[in-house]
Amino acid sequence: MIIKLMIFPNIQYSFGQIADILDKLERGWEYGKVNIMDYLESIATWALEGYSEKQIAEKLGISDRTLRRYKQKNKEILSALDKSKMKANMNVELTLLNSALGYEYEEEEEVSKERIVYFDDNGNKVVKETPVTIRVKKRAKPDISAQKYWLNNRKAQYWNDNPRKAINDKELLELKKKEFESKGLEF
């Protein structure tokens, strides 16, 4: 039999695993001795689902400072968090790109209704209508806002609202450096 705990609703546990978790909760967390490696898979899942590190720490019953210390001491934790965050970011980027370019999807459409007429046991006329649906391929149009967002962030020097802003900022920085140097100051 598999059970879901409310503290970890996305993970299924057997009775033996639940007993182990409860035992660890009683012994370990009470004294601040969490074996975080037992929760590595959960940590990766939460990061992939978009939880912040502070929220992950709360789910583990530790402070975010403690989680940061665990990350510094154990590269597996750091790697699990980083890989999951990177995967989530890649999913968002892919979704944004698909939205910017347009994409195909399938949708069910009702094309007609099947109508059945009969008489029940009492002689009453009964009309039963059942919708007839088909799967239709559709194409979402490219989203101009997504295109602008993508280009503003990926090719800012060309697509920013002020395409010369990056160049102007660089030139301004050089002028400020020269001004400081002429006054004998370090930049």
Q: In whole angstroms, what is the distance from residue 71 CA to residue 65 CA? A: 10
Regarding beta strands 125-140 and 12-13, do their DSSP bridges make them parallel or antiparallel, or are they unpaired? unpaired
- Profile the chain (187 residues) by mean pLDDT over runs of 10 residues: 53 65 53 73 92 91 88 91 93 94 94 90 91 94 93 80 74 86 77
Q: Which domain holds residue 7?
A: 3-98
pLDDT at position 10 is: 60
Joined together, the tokens standing for residue 41 give 């898979």
Number of structural domains (the chain) is: 3
Q: Which residues pair with 128 in a beta bridge?
A: 116
Q: Is residue 73 one of the residues assigned to a domain? A: yes
pLDDT at position 21 is: 66
Q: In whole angstroms, what is the distance from residue 96 CA to residue 149 CA? A: 9
Q: Is residue 93 one of the residues assigned to a domain? A: yes
pTM over 0.75? The answer is: no
Q: Is residue 104 one of the residues assigned to a domain? A: no
Q: With helix as H, strand as E and coil as C, how does 110-143 read?
A: EEEEEEEEEECCCCCEEEEEEEEEEEEEEEECCC
pLDDT at position 94 is: 93
Q: What's the angle, vertex CA 169, arms to CA 163 and CA 175, rounded to 5?
A: 140
Which residues are CB-contacts of 3 (< 8 A; sequence separation ≥ 6)?
Answer: 12, 13, 14, 15, 18
Q: How far is CA 105 from CA 32, 139, 181, in A?
A: 50, 6, 60
pLDDT at position 29 is: 47
Are 119 and 46 in the same domain? no
Is residue 68 within 8 Å of residue 81, measured between CB atoms? Answer: no
Are 73 and 48 in the same domain? yes
Q: Which residues pair with 131 in a beta bridge?
A: 113
Are 134 and 162 in the same domain? no
pLDDT at position 83 is: 94
